[in-house]
Amino acid sequence: MSELKNQISQFIDTNAKIYQDISLAIHAKPEVSDFEYFASQTLSEQLKKEGFEIELPAAGHRTGFAATYKSNKLGPTVVFLAEYDALAGLGHGCGHNVFGATSSLAGAALKSVVDQIGGEVRVYGTPGEEGGQNGSAKGSFVKKGYLKDVDFALCVHPGSGPEDGLSTRNYACAPVDIEFWGKPAHAAGCPQDGINALDAQILTYAAIGVLRQQLTDRIRIHGVIVDGGTAPNVIPEYTKAKYYIRAADIDTLHELYEKVENIVKGSALQTGCTSSMKLYQNLVENMVLTPSLDAIYEKYITELGNTVKHVEDVVMPGSSDVGNISQVVPTIQPHISITDVQIAGHSQDMVNASCSQKAMDAIVKGAKALAFTALELFENPEELAKVKEDHAWHVEHQKEN
């Protein structure tokens, strides 16, 4: 083991309990998107103690933060992405308490040696990965320029089962509100005087169902009507539905968005309603893989004793705003197991696993693998250049895969 790598390993072993305790504290106090006050404050305060400069709030998110440490020597810039939001009504059923602590510990460990090699280390606290109020904050970090001078981004997500996994592709997603406004009237006494906003919503729902016949397997659309009116004897004046419009690549998503938008306009025209279709949080972009960067991480997590399962390169169900980061810089989000057997994500079993001893051990191994990956690229500019070339190729060809 190289001297710097040994120093990183020793730093993580020495400080692991601090970050494990933070993870358990966040687990015990779950907070949903835009309300992660305790988590963001706790992680950013610890990073401040480590010598990082802290921006809180950040990127237009009151529970987002940017922790930065810049060496006096020139070198690359890496960002470790930290998530810490919980699931409404469930808690940490996706293990983000582990996620945030792992990235923060990795960043602190690399910071402990960066003055010897040069470069800049950042940890971005990115709220609301699960979506919701002001959700999917990574999109804001991209839009507001926090990635413009970053060379690569790293994180690792808790998973389940006997083996770990590497980064996978997923869907881009537009979370939208579709609303209609009509005119109320007595449904029996004078229905002719009303304009039915529920009719418009049902027409939209049905038309999206018809549209699916002409869509490929690279597309998913699903939604629910959350406000359909107030009483059966009153023609609904207002209705609202929430939809996830998903596609395997961002260009296809934009095309699909326009089709759904036209359906909404058509439903309004047919019923005499006025309409609105708009994002209620950041658009989530699809994950662009950088296999050469995943390969470096795999080398180190395997060295630490974990086994990595290779799966077929397909678009996995679901979406994550890590995709927004991956569109602009080389990014990985592999999975590290926190259970011995396969369990469902977003479940009580995962809530329980996220505070287990295996989860705490995963913080140590995950932080080491991430920090070692960053160190290798900091010390080898030619290898970093190849990673960037690999990323650029996959961005260009993402619609073909």
pLDDT score for 313: 87
Q: Are 233 and 194 in contact (CB under 8 A)?
A: no
Helix (H) or strand (E) holding 176: strand 172-181
Q: Which residue has the tokens 């419009």?
A: 245
Question: Both ends of the chain: CA-CA distance in Å?
Answer: 38
Q: How far apart are CA 82 and CA 286, in angstroms?
A: 18
User: What would you report as the CA-atom Rg of the chain, rounded to the nearest whole angstrom?
Assistant: 23
Instruction: Say which residues have a Cβ less than 8 Å from residue 197's Cβ, sequence separation at least 6.
Output: 180, 181, 182, 229, 236, 237, 238, 239, 271, 273
Q: How far apart are CA 296 and CA 304, in angstroms?
A: 13
pLDDT score for 401: 72
Q: Give every strand in the sheet of 335-337, ordered side by side.
A: 157-159, 335-337, 164-165, 308-309
What pLDDT tens digit does each residue of the chain (401 aa) get?
699 999 999 999 999 999 999 999 999 999 999 999 999 999 999 999 999 999 999 999 999 999 999 999 999 999 999 999 999 999 999 999 999 999 999 999 999 999 999 999 999 999 999 999 999 999 999 999 999 999 999 999 999 999 999 999 999 999 999 999 999 999 999 999 999 999 999 999 999 999 999 999 899 999 999 999 999 999 999 999 999 999 999 999 999 999 999 999 999 999 999 999 999 999 999 999 999 999 999 999 999 999 999 998 889 889 999 999 999 999 999 999 999 999 999 999 999 999 999 999 999 999 999 999 999 999 999 999 999 999 999 999 998 77
Residue 313 token pair: 């390169």
pLDDT score for 172: 97
CA–CA distance from 116 to each of 4, 103, 153, 154, 232 (Å)? Answer: 9, 21, 21, 21, 72
Q: Are 140 and 324 in contact (CB under 8 A)?
A: no
The string of DSSP codes covering 368-394 is HHHHHHHHHHHH-HHHHHHHHHHHHHH
Q: How far apart are CA 121 and CA 108, in angstroms?
A: 8
pLDDT score for 228: 98
Instruction: Say which residues have a Cβ less than 8 Å from residue 383's Cβ, sequence separation at least 6.
Output: 296, 376, 377
CA–CA distance from 199 to each of 20, 182, 224 (Å)? Answer: 53, 10, 15
Q: Are 98 and 84 in contact (CB under 8 A)?
A: no
Instruction: Say which residues have a Cβ less than 8 Å from residue 262's Cβ, sequence separation at least 6.
Output: none
Q: How far apart are CA 187 and CA 59, in angstroms?
A: 48
Tallying the residues shown for the chain, one arrives at: 401
Residue 269 token pair: 């025209």
Q: How far apart are CA 242 and CA 171, in angstroms?
A: 18
CA–CA distance from 274 to each of 174, 205, 268 (Å)? Answer: 21, 16, 6
Residue 106 token pair: 């990795």
Q: Are strands 65-70 and 274-279 parallel, antiparallel or unpaired?
A: unpaired
**3-state SS, residue 324:** helix
Q: What single-letter DSSP state applies at residue 223? A: E
pLDDT score for 46: 98
Helix (H) or strand (E) holding 6: helix 3-28
Q: What single-letter DSSP state applies at residue 91? A: B
* Maximum separation of any 2 CA atoms in the chain, in Å: 85
Residue 346 token pair: 């977003």
Q: Are 28 and 38 in contact (CB under 8 A)?
A: no
pLDDT score for 317: 86
